[in-house]
Structure 1
């Protein structure tokens, strides 16, 4: 008895598909952005300078992004994942506020908002093995 492609596709819950799609997009942005930050590419350095941040901040931010990407991909370690999700939201919301406050490259605000939303979707739909177990009542 063979299983058709549509039967196999239906076997994967929609929640898992949405979770992994959002997570892969967030992780891809963290890896690419983290590498660009660590390399201090000119256009990234120019953006940070226009936002009135020191350029050395890019290396710190880039390393955090790369560690966050790793944390989201590794199995287990739910507490580390919680911290990674929080850090991503801090970075994205900080970037949104910075762009709006300084008035520089406001078009990027929409992209940053989408990335923040994808992070929230990934966090909200993560499977039980990637969540902190509930505390036992005393």
Structure 2
């Protein structure tokens, strides 16, 4: 159980930093705005995406949030990582940027698996 909690909190904290703190602090920079434009998305899309990312990481980090809502947050981040990879692949070709979101999808999956392990042991 201790290893499960450690894995959950480490991976969830990585997602929190990468998907919550980083976008919240850098979303209004010219580099971030140009990155959204480069992929063919309108500027408002980046702003909406940041809002949903911040809400999503809060849902994952706050223990008292109902599990059904956490499931939606996990699904949203999974879609985010998959579509980020697809967007970079189509626009820039196959390169590091194409696979970088898949790395974080793997981290998210570890968080998800350990969340359910912790949830199931508290129920039983």
- Same fold? TM cut 0.5: yes
| Alignment gaps of 5+ in structure 2 | none
Once residues 63 and 40 of structure 1 are traced to their aligned partners in structure 2, the CA distance between those partners, rounded to angstroms, is 12
Deviates more, 1:15-24 or 1:59-68: 15-24
How far off is 1:117 after superposition?
0.7
Q: How many residues align?
A: 119
Taking structure 1 as the reference length, the TM-score comes to 0.77
How far off is 1:98 after superposition?
0.2
Taking structure 2 as the reference length, the TM-score comes to 0.85
| Alignment gaps of 5+ in structure 1 | 1-11, 134-138
List aligned pairs for 1:1-138, cutoff 5 A. Answer: 13-36=2-25, 39-76=27-64, 77-103=66-92, 106-126=95-115, 127-128=118-119
Q: Tell which structure's C-alpha radius of gyration is larger.
A: 1
Q: Greater helix percent: which structure?
A: 2
Q: Deviations over 1:67-109 (max 9, x none)?
A: 0011001123101100000000111111000000111683222
For the Cα contact (< 8 Å) 1:33–1:62, is it kept in 2? no
Q: Point out which structure has higher relative CO (alpha carbons under 8 A, 6+ apart).
A: 2
Deviates more, 1:27-36 or 1:85-94: 27-36
| Structural RMSD (CA) | 2.2
For the Cα contact (< 8 Å) 2:85–2:100, is it kept in 1? no
Once residues 36 and 59 of structure 1 are traced to their aligned partners in structure 2, the CA distance between those partners, rounded to angstroms, is 12
